[in-house]
């Protein structure tokens, strides 16, 4: 398989499907793979880099047992614990991100879902954000009902984030309090309600390359418009605290593969950028077209919004937001 020829075929309209032999992705020359992924990104996405920022709207005491997560009540970590943040706190953070020219802003809440009182707080908060800012709004609030999804859309939320985390095969190895199928049903509902689907996962949890390929294919079948790729940053007190961090080459190969399989999606750098040189500059030459910027949830970001914008502008990328006038 000539990987650069495949890149051109994808640019011309070919799409990789489940059932194809994808083993060549694991062994092909990394430099050529990244070159092809960047060509796909350039032709099908362009030079715009989508910048998003998140605020931890409710922290800790999550009843789910995801092995990687500092916020799970099942693990002994130093995670900060607090209820849904005041509206003014979230609005101030949102306005700061808008002033720094971030494209979208998301409230992320720990837990399986929000109770009725907290969900009403979320709705009121989004109303105020919509009235006072021009930034695109995203939500990440776990398993929600179709009616809740519709209400979020009514108050201005345009995107919903809900990671599938890994492959269907490997999922039970990292979480047993909910299922992969529940995740996929939520994404189906997001799609049906007309919101942008933002869904990706975490690499470096002990999964195989075949698991990563399967996750990429599953996301292409949704299809997801935004795919955050997190490289595990092991957190003390979680079951994965002793997991060996991935190499830069492994992360770059994963990003490039996801670009080949999801050629029209925003492949988004998320947690783990500290494992990459120069804040992940090479990842933007390997198919990445978006990033979470600013402060992360429970892992420290190594780059600021301004330094991200400066690096990307030097690369010739467009980091100007398309806010409504």
pLDDT digits (tens, 9 = 90+) for 160-178: 999 999 999 999 999 999 9
**Is residue 191 pLDDT above 60, yes or no?**
yes
Instruction: Output the pLDDT for position 230.
Output: 96
Q: Residue 198: give its domain's CATH number.
A: 3.20.20.70
121 domain-assigned: yes
4 domain-assigned: no
Report the predicted TM-score, pTM, of the whole model to 2 decimal places.
0.95
No. of H helices and E strands in the chain? 11, 9
Q: 67 falls in which pLDDT band (50, 70, 90)?
A: confident
Average pLDDT, the chain: 93
137 domain-assigned: yes
Count of the separate structural domains present in the chain: 1
13 domain-assigned: no
Distance CA 292, CA 301 (A): 9
Instruction: Output the pLDDT for position 302.
Output: 47
201 domain-assigned: yes
17 domain-assigned: no
23 domain-assigned: no
What b/e sequence results for 49-76 when a residue is b if at least 16 CB atoms lie within 10 Å of its CB, and e otherwise?
A: bbbbbbbbbbbbebebbbbbbbbbbebe
Nearby residues of 286 by Cβ (< 8 Å), 6 or more positions away: 33, 34, 37, 38, 252, 255, 256, 259
- Model confidence pLDDT, tens digit, residues 11-54: 999 999 999 999 999 999 999 999 999 999 999 999 999 999 99
212 domain-assigned: yes
Instruction: Output the pLDDT for position 296.
Output: 52
- Model confidence pLDDT, tens digit, residues 293-315: 986 544 434 458 889 999 999 99
Asked whether the bond before 120 is cis by omega within 30 degrees of 0, the reply is: no
Range of the domain at 95: 29-314
Instruction: Output the pLDDT for position 295.
Output: 60
**Is residue 259 pLDDT above 60, yes or no?**
yes
């Amino acid at each position: 398989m000539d990987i650069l020829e495949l890149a051109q075929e994808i640019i011309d309209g070919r799409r990789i499907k489940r059932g194809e032999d994808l083993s060549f992705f694991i062994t092909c020359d990394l430099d050529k793979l990244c070159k092809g992924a960047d060509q796909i990104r350039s032709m099908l996405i362009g030079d715009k880099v989508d910048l998003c920022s998140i605020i931890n709207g409710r922290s800790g005491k999550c009843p789910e047992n995801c092995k990687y997560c500092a916020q799970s009540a099942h693990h002994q970590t130093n995670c900060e614990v607090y209820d849904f943040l005041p509206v003014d706190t979230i609005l101030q953070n949102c306005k700061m991100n808008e002033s720094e020219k971030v494209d979208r802003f998301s409230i992320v809440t720990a837990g399986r879902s929000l109770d009725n009182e907290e969900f009403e707080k979320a709705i009121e908060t989004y109303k105020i954000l919509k009235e006072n800012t021009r930034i695109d709004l995203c939500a990440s609030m776990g398993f929600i009902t179709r009616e809740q999804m519709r209400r979020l859309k009514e108050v201005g939320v345009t995107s919903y984030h809900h990671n599938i985390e890994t492959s269907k095969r490997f999922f039970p190895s990292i979480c047993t309090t909910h299922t992969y199928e529940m995740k996929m049903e939520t994404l189906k509902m997001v799609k049906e309600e007309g919101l942008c689907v933002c869904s990706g996962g975490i690499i470096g949890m002990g999964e195989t390359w075949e698991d990563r390929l399967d996750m990429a294919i599953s996301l292409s079948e949704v299809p997801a418009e935004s795919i955050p790729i997190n490289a595990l940053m092991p957190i003390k007190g979680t079951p994965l605290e002793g997991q060996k961090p991935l190499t830069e080459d492994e992360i770059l190969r994963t990003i490039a593969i996801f670009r080949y399989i999801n050629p029209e999606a925003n492949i988004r750098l998320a947690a783990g950028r500290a494992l990459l040189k120069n804040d992940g500059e090479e990842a933007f030459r390997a198919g990445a077209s978006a990033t979470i910027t600013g402060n992360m949830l429970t892992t420290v970001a190594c780059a600021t919004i301004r330094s991200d914008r400066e690096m990307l502008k030097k690369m010739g990328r467009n980091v100007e937001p398309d806010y409504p006038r």
